[in-house]
Amino acid sequence: MSSSRTKKKPSAGARSQNRSLAPADKLKREIQAVLTDELRSDEHRVGHGRYDGFGYIAAEAYFYLAGGYDARLHPMQLKHRGKSHWWLVDSENRVIDLTLAPRETSNFPYHRGRRRPFRYTPAGLSRRAMTIVERVSARRG
């Protein structure tokens, strides 16, 4: 007896469909404008880009400033090549990767990532993400 719900498996050598990148919006640019070296995590750098090492805290700050789950955002994480990488997925299932500069692309396997909550802190945000939120808010006036 065959199931009416058969799973389609990719053929050998077939490439999985990766998620599309969301265009850089105003909030992403505001956050990237306030990132400074003392906030960078060398431990989590996965490449050599300008915003590499800011993935977790920048995603956490964006999530907070944009409205979090109420804005239909979801934190995502994948350990790839021994390093942890964090990004967000928006309501249209597009990737918001705060480590990518405007118009920069990536071949990172976002499709393999998993939804993960940001770690709990009594303040609601990590210290470094709170610094980013405060800087963005101060620039806005």
Residue 49 has what pLDDT?
A: 76
Query: What is the C-alpha to C-alpha distance for residues 135 and 94, in angstroms, rounded to an integer?
Result: 26
Residue 12 is predicted with a pLDDT of 40
Nearest Cα neighbor of 30 from 111, 116, 98, 112 is: 98
DSSP-assigned beta bridge partners for residue 21: 95
DSSP state of 80: E
Predicted confidence at residue 6, as pLDDT, reads 40
Confidence (pLDDT) at 41: 75
In this prediction, residue 122 carries a pLDDT of 86
Model pTM score: 0.83
Host H or E run for residue 76: strand 74-80
Q: Given this model, what pLDDT does residue 95 score?
A: 98
| Alpha-carbon span 61 to 3, nearest angstrom | 45
Is the C-alpha dihedral spanning 87, 88, 94, 100 positive or negative?
negative
DSSP assignments along 89-106, one per residue: E-TTS-EE-TTSPTT---
Q: What is the pLDDT of residue 17?
A: 62
What pLDDT shows up at residue 2?
42
Q: What per-residue confidence (pLDDT) applies to 42?
A: 67
Query: SS3 for 88?
Result: strand
Q: Chunk the chain into consecutive blocks of 10 residues (it has 141) and report each block's average pLDDT, rounded to whole numbers.
A: 41 56 96 94 66 94 97 96 92 97 91 95 92 98 89
Which secondary-structure segment (H or E) carries 72?
none
Please report, for residues 3, 30, 138, the alpha-carbon distance to residue 114 in angstroms, rounded to integers and kept in the order given: 28, 26, 33
